[in-house]
A and B are shown apart, each in its own frame.
Chain A
Amino acid sequence: MIIQSLDPRISRAKLDDQSSEGFLNEHEHFETFEVFQQVKRGTHHQHVGSVHAPNPEMAILFAKEQYCRRGKAVNLWVVKTSDVFVTEYEDADIFETSEDKKYRDPETYKVMDRINAYKSRLNP
């Protein structure tokens, strides 16, 4: 049966429900690339998502439209997903005590009195 649609473009394509047009077998997909976007020169590139592509050049081409179509950008990086070395979730306990180490945050240092003392020495 030919698929009828209100969209004339779909009807023109004369797709039938038995069609294997566009059907992909396993491993026929392109590999994925991770996309990093820089919004302003000098700032960090930030991970924004991934794209399927046959090579890095085309990954950049697609990433530009997927991720920079509406927002500001000055630079893109793409990296093969398979080249990203990752930690295992079963090792997530290595991060567990990080939150408790408040002494590593500058906010826990009491220095304001010393800064004020220094300022008053500069401008007595």
Chain B
Amino acid sequence: MMEFTDKHVLALKELLYKMADDQLILGHRNSEWTGLGPMLEEDIAFSSMAQDKIGQSLALYELLHELGESEPDTVAFTRNDNQFHCSQFVELPIGAYDFSLVRHFFFDHAEAIRFEMLADTVFEPLAMIARKFKGEIKYHTMHADIFMKKLAEGGPESYGLIQQAINDNFGLALGMFEPGDYEPELIEAGIFGGENTLQTRWLAKVVPLLESFGYIVPKVENSEPALGGRKGFHTPHLQPLLDEMTEVFSIDPGADW
């Protein structure tokens, strides 16, 4: 393993922040369905996966803490929107269930491949996390796939809703792969294979899968990726989410729980 320079550490932190922030924000968004899900069983399953996401973000914030960043609670609850590195895709409101389901499908496949790529990263603590959550994420993509398939078979109404949600989500989802400032460093050090590789592998996975269910997937070249999130440029939807998420914490930030 090559010696890490300061630049490699910055690159690693940038990677961990964007992953953890995506998980925290999408986990919070998806938990907004708790109690409002389409049926009891699905309400429990979707809420449980939202909790999983927040648990995964904690593991990454702890890793960042070991690399010299602040405590996980401080990082999660005291930053403003422009300090978050999540993609704009995950911060958008939950919309109707079709939108949330398709976002879950696109996001979780990207996450599964990202963790697969990280399972043999040279940064061993991250490889351990990637291996630890493998089964959890496998269930998430299994859940997403079965829903997408079933709703394609469910008749013109469910098929139409999901097809529309795919059209609405696709460009937004491409924003997940916005390259960071340190792509060459991550790749040369063997930390991570890079956002471009991830996007290619993601497309190779989700496009044939959706087509096999009978959906039509928009073309990348005709889509406008929702960029900016990785650099702290967010939609007006993120700050209200953070205000709500930190409401109790802000009453007494020093409280012992």
Binding site for B on A (CB under 8 A): 7-10, 12-13, 22, 30, 51-55, 57-58, 61-62, 64-66, 69
Contact = CB atoms under 8 A, between A and B. Distances in A.
A65 B150 contact: no
B48 A54 contact: no
B40 A52 contact: yes
Given A10-B36, A55-B150, A65-B48, 19 more contacts: A7-B35, A8-B244, A9-B34, A9-B35, A10-B35, A12-B32, A13-B36, A22-B38, A52-B39, A52-B41, A53-B41, A54-B150, A61-B143, A61-B146, A62-B41, A62-B45, A64-B139, A65-B44, A66-B44
Contacts of B40: 52
Interface residues of B, number: 18
Nearest to A64: B139
Contacts of B48: 65, 69
Interface string B128-157: 000000000001001100100010000000
A30 B39 contact: yes
A58 to B, nearest CB: 6
B42 interface: yes
Contacts of B35: 7, 9-10
Contacts of A65: 41, 44-45, 48
Contacts of A30: 39
Contact of B146 (A8, A10, A57): A57
A87 B133 CA distance: 44
Main SS class of interface, B: helix
Interface of B: 32, 34-36, 38-42, 44-45, 48, 139, 142-143, 146, 150, 244
A65 B42 CA distance: 9
A69 to B, nearest CB: 6
User: Closest 7 CB pairs between A and B?
Assistant: A62-B41, A65-B45, A65-B48, A9-B32, A51-B41, A65-B44, A57-B146
Nearest to A53: B41
Given A8-B244, A54-B150, A55-B150, A61 B45 contact: yes
B32 A66 contact: no
Contact of B42 (A55, A57, A62, A69): A62
Nearest to A29: B39
Nearest to B38: A22
A101 B36 CA distance: 53
Contacts of A62: 41-42, 44-45
A94 B41 CA distance: 37
A94 to B, nearest CB: 35
B154 to A, nearest CB: 8
